[in-house]
Amino acid sequence: MTNYIIRRLLYLIPVLLGVSFLIFLLFNVVAGDPTAVLLGKNATARQMEELREQLGLNKPLFMQYLDVVKSAFTFDFGRSWATKQEITYMLKQGAYPSLTLTIPAFVISTVLSLFISLFVAYYRGKGIDLFIRFLCIAGMSVSALAYILGFQWLFAYKLGWFEISGFEYGFPEFLPYIALPAIIWIILSLGPDVRFFRTVILDEIYQDYVRTARAKGLGEMTILLKHVLRNAMIPIITYTVIQIPFLILGALLLENFFGIPGIGGMTLNALNNSDFPVIKAMAILSSVVYIIFSLVSDILYTIADPRVKLK
């Protein structure tokens, strides 16, 4: 396993080189001259040239590409064009509000979805199973924006149970600010999660080893928890772990509508302001975290099923 982990980490080098090239191609070649976007259509040629020099855009393309590669390996992303702050500092500042929202919401939604999936799998084909599946489909059919605006109006504005927007650092000061967006996150996640987990569990229930376990006299709940769940863990681990890198980005809509100063809001502001260095930083960071958690999921496979060998 140690050799496998080392090899996978070494794969980061060509992947980061490829990601850096694609990001450079998108933002420095395809997107055109960013100074025209930053200065507006009334900018003079002199103003544009001065800004190019200030931002380092007058360097040869190869040197600009090397700057992108360097930032990918050192995580030194330079300064934001919009705020003039160090991007690394901005990421550190935004990570705390984002993770205080996304981590609890993600953990609660995953555990709750798995519990509900086991419950409906146990009562498969019965009325409660059909009812919960109907709720999942109905919940998935409603727009996230409708949940946000509706819950803000009812629970925050009318009933006053939660804060409408804002954020305070420190525990438990941030709880009133993240409670409502976390509830919305959980509701939005339950539908797809329950449907996926239920399908995976039912695929295992109809396997031959389950019929053999029943023939030996094992109870349905024992079979479900001891045998079926364990064999269903590999697709569940894949589905769950691959979502973790996106927690770093935060919840774009939730942070924006609830005024949470996290990474999601920072990314939206960067898109609105054509702040290319911040967008590049988020693209590179997302790629690195995704690769790392892909490796984590492979390692978890061997824990869930000892028959899996990493080569």
Stretches where the chain sits below pLDDT 50 are none
Instruction: Please state, in angstroms and rounded to a whole number, the distance separating the CA atoms of residues 281 and 262.
Output: 15
pLDDT at 10: 81
- The per-residue pLDDT for 251 is 76
Cα 148 from Cα 143, distance rounded (Å): 9
Q: Is 250 left (phi over 0), alpha (psi -120 to 50) or beta?
A: left
pLDDT value at residue 247: 74
User: pLDDT at position 31, please?
Assistant: 60
Q: Among all chains, which residue has been given the structure tokens 């479900």? A: 224
Helices and strands, number each (H, E), in the chain? 17, 0
Cβ atoms within 10 A of the Cβ of 222, count?
A: 12
Q: Domains of the chain by range and CATH?
A: 2-74 (no CATH), 87-304 (1.10.3720.10)
How many Å is the Cα radius of gyration of the chain? 24
Residue 29 contacts residue 68 (beta carbons within 8 Å): no
Nearest to 95 by CA among 261, 228, 256: 261
Q: Cβ(237)–Cβ(197) under 8 Å?
A: no
Euclidean distance between CA atoms 160 and 46, whole angstroms: 54
pTM > 0.95: no
